[in-house]
């Protein structure tokens, strides 16, 4: 593992309990060690509360619907993965050789999970003020840019399908794996025209968004091919 003292400088916090930081960086593929999934669960909620509060205060005239759209953009996996890359979390992550060989350090889903785990660890070790300081440092420019944020994948897919007479997309749980405290949901989205895709995430809502995002990407590629 790379020198965690360097990472602490980047995070702006020296951990009293260094084990928390190590746990936040450890992938579940490493057997016998405490891994990041519980901290990820906590960090997701802490991040959500901080972002929701900041949006509420920063945009006092914005309605609930627009706040929700901007909130979704700021806490989604892609945004978290972007932050993780900014602070080079991949350098510090610990994972099995098999996971590393499969490109685990570059996988957006893993980077996002570790970023959430870091927030959880900062909260437990330094309190809500420390977690808030970290989030505001790295999300501040994104909060301002949120004024032009696009709609979330589920909303975009629904509007696309209904505009073409395909009705409302249907979401179905395919399976749920993993322990009860850290489940992984697989959700399939289907359209009336037969198109569909699957998504995987740690929550049903996240898996639905992932499925919608995947299907939108496939639709985009198909339309580009048809227009070529």
- Which residues participate in catalysis according to the annotation? 44, 116
Q: How many C-beta atoms surround the C-beta of residue 62 within 10 A?
A: 16
Contact predicate 22/114, CB 8 Å: no
CA torsion through residues 59, 64, 69, 74, sign? positive
Distance, C-alpha 227 to centroid of its chain: 33
Give the torsion through C-alpha atoms of 168, 171, 172, 177, to 10 deg: 180
Distance between CA 47 and CA 71 in Å, rounded?
10
Which among 40, 27, 7 is positioned nearest to 183, based on CA atoms?
40
> In the chain, where do the E strands start and end?
170-177, 184-190, 196-201
Tokens of 167: 């009705």
């Amino acid at each position: 593992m790379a020198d965690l003292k360097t990472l602490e400088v980047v995070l702006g916090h020296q951990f009293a309990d260094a084990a928390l930081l190590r746990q936040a960086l450890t992938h579940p593929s490493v057997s016998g060690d405490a891994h990041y999934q519980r901290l990820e669960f906590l960090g997701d909620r802490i991040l959500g509360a901080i972002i929701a509060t900041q949006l509420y205060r920063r945009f006092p005239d914005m309605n609930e619907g627009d706040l929700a759209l901007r909130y979704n953009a700021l806490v989604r996996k892609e945004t978290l993965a972007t932050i993780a890359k900014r602070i080079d979390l991949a350098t510090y992550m610990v994972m099995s050789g098999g996971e590393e060989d499969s490109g685990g350090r570059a996988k957006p889903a893993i980077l996002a999970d570790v970023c959430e785990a870091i927030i959880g660890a900062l909260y437990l070790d330094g309190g809500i003020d420390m977690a808030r300081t970290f989030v505001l440092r790295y999300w501040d420019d994104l909060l301002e840019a949120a004024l032009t944020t696009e709609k979330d994948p589920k909303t975009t897919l629904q509007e696309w399908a209904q505009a073409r007479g395909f009705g409302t997309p249907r979401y179905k749980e395919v399976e749920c794996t993993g322990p009860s405290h850290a489940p992984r949901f697989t959700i399939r989205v289907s359209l009336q025209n037969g198109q569909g895709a699957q998504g995987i995430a740690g929550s049903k809502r996240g898996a639905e968004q992932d499925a919608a995002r995947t299907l939108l990407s496939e639709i985009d590629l198909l339309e580009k091919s048809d227009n070529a």
